Amino acid sequence: MLIRKKPDIASSEITDSRLYFGRRRFMRSAAGLILGSALPSRLLASRPAAFNKISPSPYSTAETPNSYQDITTYNNYYEFGTRKEDPVANAQEFDPWPWSVTISGEAEKTGKVNLEDILARHPLEERIYRLRCVEAWSMVIPWVGFPLGDLLKEFQPTSKAKFVEFVTLNDPSRMPGQRVPVLRWPYREGLRIDEAMHPLAILAVGLYGEVLPNQSGAPLRLVVPWKYGFKSIKAITEIRFRETAPVNSWNQSQPGEYGFYANVNPKVDHPRWSQARERRIGAGLFAPKQDTLMFNGYAEQVASLYSGMDLARNF
């Protein structure tokens, strides 16, 4: 995602505020109608009270978000199938409420916490972020969430906590994709603790102003916008503070293709395709590609986290 400051934006590029907010109101209303028709009534009835007030975030890009249709029908979520259209077809009966997260490891406070209690303590905000997949496509999504670091600080990680591990729900009876050994279930991901504490990293619980659809990782997922999309683990049930680096699922499965860091780096090709250019989902197969930006456009904000590292070796 690219953050553009006022001196960098030509006046001709600035959308009139009346058009912008009018469009946003229309998109929000349309998203609500689509969500209402797609989700079982029991999920709408359990919508968290925290969604009654959502604030815009200064971290948002000025890019136009993808449509709700794009975002919710083209998904990588192997717990519900390996094809991009599988999650929306196979996740509709998944009931994510109530939900709890277990906190463990190198922290002063550990145990199980209810997601409703977490949301009661953390005001939600909307952040329009670009999420990029390794297959050279990208999508701009108006996430609803709160800073990951704010939650982690609550549990008072000790000086031994160098990494944070995240674990997805492991329930083949509810997640049909887990009945097939495509990966070693449950899905696992991790960040260095300084990455996890960075203000750009969020825990998302919604998009387009509404609760997160099942196929998008309901009810709680990670969003790390300067990294490839597979780092943004979905349906989180466990958060562990660790002294050593956790094993993340795709690195475990294919270590030559997927590293621990997964920072967007257009100078390092995937073994099977170039990562130098990307195409926006929904633009069509013949739409021109655009240059991929280092750290997905966040170099100014996050490059210091990797000072002195070889980003070709630590991929």
Give the integer Cα–Cα distance in Å for 220 and 145: 9
Q: Which positions ≥6 away from 65 have C-beta within 8 Å?
A: 27, 71, 128, 140, 141, 142, 208
Structure tokens at 226: 């300067």
Positive or negative, the Cα torsion across 66, 150, 311, 232? negative
Give the integer Cα–Cα distance in Å for 297 and 15: 21
Give the integer Cα–Cα distance in Å for 22 and 288: 28
Contact 259, 315 (CB under 8 A): yes
- The model carries a pTM of 0.85
Backbone angles phi, psi at 12, to 5 degrees: -70, -20
Give the integer Cα–Cα distance in Å for 151 and 172: 28
Q: How far is CA 52 from the centre of its chain?
A: 22
pLDDT < 50 positions in the chain: 1-45
Question: Which amino acid would we find at residue 11?
Answer: S
CA atoms within 13 A on the CB side of 89: 9
Q: What is the pLDDT of residue 47?
A: 60
First to last CA, the chain: 19
Residue 9: is it exposed, middle or buried by C-beta count within 10 angstroms (0-12/13-18/19+)? exposed
Q: What is the pLDDT of residue 32?
A: 42
Q: What is the pLDDT of residue 4?
A: 37
Q: What is the pLDDT of residue 46?
A: 53
Given the structure tokens 């905000």, which residue do they identify? 125
Structure tokens at 68: 């709700």
Our CA angle for 25, 65, 227, nearest 5°, is 140
Give the integer Cα–Cα distance in Å for 119 and 243: 28
Q: How far is CA 103 from the centre of its chain?
A: 20
What pLDDT digit, counting tens, does each position of 125-170 carry?
Answer: 999 999 999 888 999 999 999 999 999 999 999 999 999 999 999 9
DSSP assignment, residue 195? H
Q: What is the pLDDT of residue 122?
A: 95
What pLDDT digit, counting tens, does each position of 228-260 carry?
Answer: 999 999 999 999 999 999 999 999 999 999 999
All domains of the chain in start order, with CATH: 6-256 (3.90.420.10)
